[in-house]
Amino acid sequence: MLLDTPTLLSLLLLELLSLMVMLPLLMGAAVSRAARFAQGYIALQCVGWMALWLRQSSGAPISDGLGGFVAMLALSASLSALWLALRDWLGRRPGRWAMMGAPLVLALASVLDGSGADHFAIAWSGLGLSLQMLALALACSWPREAEQQGLEIRHITPVEHKDRAWRTLLGLGFGAMASVPLLRASLHFLGREVGWEALLTQAIILGAHVMLLVSVLAILVAWRGETELHLQRQAHTDALTGLANRRAFGSRSEELISLARRHGEPLCLVMLDLDLFKKVNDDHGHEGGDRALALFASCVQQVLRVGDLAGRVGGEEFCVLLARSDELGPRAMDARLRAVLHARAEKELGFALDFSAGWALLRPGDRSVEDMMRRADAALYEAKRSGRGRLCDEPGWTPAEKTG
Ligand SMILES: Nc1nc2c(ncn2[C@@H]2O[C@H](COP(=O)(O)OP(=O)(O)OP(=O)(O)O)[C@@H](O)[C@H]2O)c(=O)[nH]1
């Protein structure tokens, strides 16, 4: 071996200390919880290896006493922190309680074992850390959670494709890294005295060097993907209501229209407009008006079914596309929305809100959602003209009409 154990340990500690300072500087203050967990992983690794380094340089058995306890607690907690970062980035992963309980169990095991073995980690801790690494490898390969709305999945695909590379790298790294402490733990449990104990220790520290590099690269790529996704969402979302903005509504509606045509299913568009909204602003201020818009959007989302699409297409104008829906869909949605809005507006805003609506069915000649919107808008105009607070059918609609 070119470098001895103390030198390898010191170099690892130097790298960890540098990364612990550099990562937060590089990522900035406004980072997600996942990025904070990832930074916590580096910081806890630093504490763990520092404890081992201190024990090692004082000449005491490094797995004994307080040093061993702190080292195990911090190293195990670092793996749990990285697991939490993965869960935030990729969605729920299996093994949550095991990962959360592992640090304390391993730390206690390292002091209660009492074998006093003079090496980096006693068998129980080695076994526990290996299992945690395998759980991390599993967390990397576990499929990403499906987004709430079917259409959202297509929307995030470019980022999802990119994250396969870092997940594979990290998963393979932890899978391979787990094998060395696992081998050492097995030898210990079998009571085998082997002459290459020091070599195994050095292999573990070298593995930690490599894993540090791999995990920092993976963290940076994941963090960049997260930032991209965030910007992408911002560009497609109306900031006040959280619904799709007009542009996003237009582009996502194309997918719904082509799906409806491919499967020969009916599709309806409902246009919604708050009644006398100018008066809401006049009576309750612009801020009261904004709260009313946000509440209305929340009611719309509450009554939608999975697969439907809602967007804010103008100031107090909203559109909803109802997938696999004939004329009964708009009527049912309108009734549900009125009931929910009337119940929530008084309670949450302190004043009543009402809306008018018009709907149109997808027809064979429609080139885009704009054609449906024109007819739904004419129906909405009719609803306003005839007294507001109601739903009207598109001009000339009769129940016998065929869908697009
Ligand atoms: N608070 C708030 N008001 C908005 C926003 N966007 C548009 N508005 C207001 O919405 C009001 C729309 O008024 P009008 O188009 O006259 O319609 P209305 O008063 O709702 O009357 P009807 O539609 O005929 O029932 C205007 O006063 C706009 O200033 C917004 O983002 N926030």
Would you say the CB of residue 181 lies under 6 angstroms from ligand 1?
Answer: no
CA of 356 to the centre of ligand 1 (A): 13
In our burial notation (b when 16+ CB lie closer than 10 A, e otherwise), range 297-330 reads bbbbeebbeeebbbbbbeebbbbbbbbbbbbebb
Give me the helix-helix angle, 5-27 and 197-236, nearest 10°. Answer: 10
Question: pTM score, two decimals?
Answer: 0.69
Q: How many domains does the chain have?
A: 2
Same domain, 142 and 265: no
| 66 or 132, greater pLDDT | 132
Would you say the CB of residue 385 lies under 6 angstroms from ligand 1?
Answer: no
Same domain, 27 and 168: yes
Same domain, 257 and 197: no
CA of 12 to the centre of ligand 1 (A): 62
Mean pLDDT taken over the chain? 88
pLDDT in tens, 155-175: 444 445 567 889 999 999 999
CA of 297 to the centre of ligand 1 (A): 15
What are the φ and ψ backbone dihedral angles of 206, each rounded to 5 degrees? -65, -40
Same domain, 229 and 270: no
Same domain, 37 and 184: yes
Same domain, 300 and 344: yes
Please tell me whether the interface predicted TM-score (ipTM) of this complex is above 0.90: yes
Q: What is the pLDDT of residue 363?
A: 93
Mean pLDDT for 367-392 is: 96
Q: What is the pLDDT of residue 57?
A: 80
Same domain, 278 and 182: no
Would you say the CB of residue 388 lies under 6 angstroms from ligand 1?
Answer: yes
CA of 362 to the centre of ligand 1 (A): 28
Give a yes or no: residue 389 inside a domain. yes
Residue 197 predicted with pLDDT over 50? yes
Same domain, 162 and 273: no
Give a yes or no: residue 400 inside a domain. no
Give a yes or no: residue 403 inside a domain. no
**The one catalytic residue among 15, 226, 316, 317:** 316
Q: What is the pLDDT of residue 400?
A: 64
Would you say the CB of residue 101 lies under 6 angstroms from ligand 1?
Answer: no
CA of 315 to the centre of ligand 1 (A): 6
Looking at the chain, the whole-number percentage of residues with pLDDT higher than 70 is 89
Give a yes or no: residue 401 inside a domain. no
Same domain, 206 and 272: no
Give a yes or no: residue 303 inside a domain. yes
Would you say the CB of residue 158 lies under 6 angstroms from ligand 1?
Answer: no
Name residue 359's beta-bridge partners: 270, 393
Give a yes or no: residue 336 inside a domain. yes
Q: What is the pLDDT of residue 148?
A: 37
pLDDT in tens, 272-320: 999 999 999 999 999 999 999 999 999 999 999 989 999 999 999 999 9
Same domain, 16 and 165: yes
Given strand 309-312, what is the order of strands in its sheet? 309-312, 317-322, 268-274, 355-361, 391-393
Q: What is the CATH number for 252?
A: 3.30.70.270
Please name which of 204, 213, 215 lies closest in space to residue 63, comparing C-alpha atoms.
Answer: 204
Cα distance between residue 228 and residue 91, in whole Å: 17
Q: What is the pLDDT of residue 202?
A: 86
Contact 44, 82 (CB under 8 A): no
Looking at 236, 271, 290, the residue that finishes a domain is 236
Cβ-Cβ contacts under 8 Å for 357 (sequence gap 6 or more) = 270, 271, 272, 273, 330, 334, 379, 380, 383, 390, 391, 392
Same domain, 257 and 222: no
Measured by CA distance, the residue closest to atom 31 of ligand 1 is: 315
- Is 228 a residue of the active site? no
Would you say the CB of residue 277 lies under 6 angstroms from ligand 1?
Answer: yes
Cα distance between residue 351 and residue 338, in whole Å: 15
Measured by CA distance, the residue closest to atom 3 of ligand 1 is: 289
Same domain, 261 and 385: yes
Domain that holds residue 182: 5-236
Looking at 201, 236, 271, the residue that finishes a domain is 236
Looking at 203, 236, 269, the residue that finishes a domain is 236
